[in-house]
Structure 1
Amino acid sequence: MKREKNILKLSALGGLFFAVLGIVWGTIINSSMIMFDGLYALISLLLSMLSIGITNYIEKTDFDKFPFGKGMLEPIMVAFHSIVLAVMCSLTFINGIKEFIEGGNSVDADLALGYSLISSVGCALVYVIMYRMRKNVPSDIVKAENNQWLMDTFLSIGVLCGFIVSIVLEMNSLSHLTKYVDPLMVIISSILFIRVPIIMLHKSFKEIINSSADEEINDRIYTIVKNIEEEYNFEDSITRVSKIGRELRIEIDFVFNDNSTLNELEEMDKVREEVYKNMKSLNFKKWLNVNFTGDRKWAL
């Protein structure tokens, strides 16, 4: 999908800019917090480039080698993405604790404040543009990238507030505490940030093991199937739905009885077509199987 690739390219370019800016600026003024921001952007850049490659590979049709498609690569990519970010947050948390215990770190708060302003506005801008572009793009990779920029925005705003506090402290008798502001922000940011990749990892793991789709999707499909069950007087229907990346795997089994009004093969295909049309509003690629049986055991 062209729009998906354009969103990922925007994310990569934004990551490159803030990676260079953060690492260079943080090194010059000796700020662990700004270097953490730059390192986060660098890792985001590498992950964005990997996401572009995975997206291109998923779109290439190779039925002989992948008869069920390559949709599973998407949650695997999101899981890898989440693990890398969680590990990075854990390591920076440990380094922040170590720096705090060792007496903190002196930073030029005025220069740090300038970086924070640029970063806050820039990250928020990239997030908003990506959010608008990704509407009607059913891609968990893009969603993960967009969430990452939201995290970057909150991080930058937090850093901005932290350095404002540092400047205020320098103006009174508490100036000796300013050296603890930088490592303290690293510690707090690491704790707050690790929550998002953990949530992403949990969701992607559920998709990898073919867990049931969320309630909203299930309820919509269940309603469609039950309406058709009543229309044709089937004895029962069993529906299984799992979400894997941008795909929905849907299996529906209709159980016949003596009152069922459907008998011919053409009528069965008509039901399949009806099911498919009623699901068009679900903005996912669909792997749909609709089966018919007279014995319920074949549906279980």
Structure 2
Amino acid sequence: MRSTRPSRFDPTTEQGVLSLSIAASFAMAAAAVAFGLLANSSLIIFDGIYGLIDVVMTWLSLLVVRLISLSTNVDALQSRLNQRFTMGFWHLEPIVLGVSGTLMIGAALYAAVNAVDALMSGGRHIALGPAIVFAVLSIIAESALAIFVRRANRRIGSEFVGLDAKNWMVAAAMSGAYLLAFGGGWLLRGTEWAWVVPYIDPAILLVVCAFVVLAPLGTVRRALSDILLITPVGLQAHVDEVARAVVAKHGFIEHRSYVAKVGRGDQIELFFVVPENDPPRALVEWDRLRDEIGEALGEESPDRWLTIMFTTDREWTI
């Protein structure tokens, strides 16, 4: 009988795309370190280190995706997970994204310091032949992977996969810089500008580091916003609009809302203050009202944490 278990490298799923990216990243990082040592190029070695960091952080991203998926499926494993993580795993997503972006920035800053030191020390002599070969192979592989991951994410819509596509685009841009630098150095050999050649490697490395520092800043900012539970303005406005309509329709006194976005998860808590003389209702009626509010807020999703409470005491809403 043929297995129906999805492939580990299924390109139609978030986990499959990330698994493919991990394998490709590891292969490219290993090649970069090997070619960097062969060519004596700090630029190529940095590309390898950047790739290895990306491998580790993509693997962590994949682990978090699997945990979120498991925690939102009802099975025996979910029960064991929920005993330790009753609030789910959404909070791990912005942490991993933030750490990933911060590590990329830190590695780039460290490489930039080394590049400045090399420039002040007379540059760095490299073997241009292996360096050019590596640059050409890298551009082809990384551009193809960037296009593939980006197209896959149009259907998947994952922040993790989106960041991974951005990383591949950054890597391809870096390889393009390598090719221009090393090709220029090859043309300058034996000319009156040959003295420039040793400065090419650290100079381009410094430019690449500046680009790498800027690229993940948006992701780090969004991750920090999620970690700090900063309320999304649009989501808050939508929740308040729905709540005000419920208050007006059912004659409640007021409402209080608490909203946060944590990774892919929306966390919403709604409190309605009911008049003390409000006629008694059966529990099933309150449940129907909760269903009505939930539908008004939007389509139900495993990534939405929704709490709706009714009380006559304002202190319970604070």
The answer to whether the superposition gives a TM-score over 0.5 is yes
Change (3 A) 1:166 1:216: farther
Partner SS state of residue 63, structure 1:
helix
Moved more, 161-170 or 118-127: 161-170
Aligned to 1:81: 100
Q: Distance in 2 between matches of 1:282 and 1:118?
A: 46
User: TM-score, with normalisation over the residues of structure 2?
Assistant: 0.81
Aligned to 1:14: 24
The AA in structure 2 aligned to 1:176 is W
Aligned to 2:74: none
Please say if residues 57 and 96 of structure 2, whose CA atoms lie closer than 8 Å, have aligned partners that are also in contact. no
Please say if residues 239 and 253 of structure 1, whose CA atoms lie closer than 8 Å, have aligned partners that are also in contact. yes
Point out where structure 2 has 5 or more consecutive residues left out of the alignment.
1-5, 72-77
Q: Distance in 1 between matches of 2:279 and 2:288?
A: 13
Please say if residues 42 and 202 of structure 2, whose CA atoms lie closer than 8 Å, have aligned partners that are also in contact. yes
User: TM-score, with normalisation over the residues of structure 1?
Assistant: 0.85
2:83 aligned with 1:64: yes
> Which residue of 180, 188, 197 corresponds with 1:178?
197
Q: Distance in 2 between matches of 1:271 and 1:88?
A: 53
CA deviation digits over 1:1-56, x for unaligned, max 9? Answer: 97121011011011022112211222222221112112211221122223333333
Aligned to 1:32: 42
Partner SS state of residue 71, structure 1:
coil
Change (3 A) 1:261 1:231: farther
Q: Distance in 1 between matches of 2:220 and 2:198?
A: 35
2:54 aligned with 1:44: yes
CA deviation digits over 1:117-174, x for unaligned, max 9? Answer: 3222322221222222234546443333333223222222333333344345448532
Q: Distance in 1 between matches of 2:292 and 2:213?
A: 44
Identity, % of aligned positions: 22
Q: Tell me by how many angstroms 1:291 deviates.
A: 1.4
Q: Distance in 2 between matches of 1:175 and 1:81?
A: 39
> Which residue of 152, 169, 184 corresponds with 1:133?
152
The AA in structure 2 aligned to 1:45 is V
Aligned to 1:150: 169
Point out where structure 1 has 5 or more consecutive residues left out of the alignment.
none
Q: Distance in 2 between matches of 1:13 and 1:281?
A: 36
Moved more, 166-175 or 114-123: 166-175
The AA in structure 2 aligned to 1:21 is A
Aligned to 1:191: 210
Q: Distance in 2 between matches of 1:105 and 1:218?
A: 55
2:176 aligned with 1:166: no
Change (3 A) 1:277 1:160: farther
Aligned to 2:75: none
Q: Distance in 2 between matches of 1:152 and 1:230?
A: 55
After the TM superposition, which parts of structure 1 deviate over 6 Å for at least 4 consecutive aligned residues?
A: 258-262
Aligned to 1:53: 63
Partner SS state of residue 88, structure 1:
helix
Please say if residues 249 and 288 of structure 1, whose CA atoms lie closer than 8 Å, have aligned partners that are also in contact. yes
Please say if residues 258 and 270 of structure 2, whose CA atoms lie closer than 8 Å, have aligned partners that are also in contact. yes
Q: CA RMSD in A?
A: 2.9
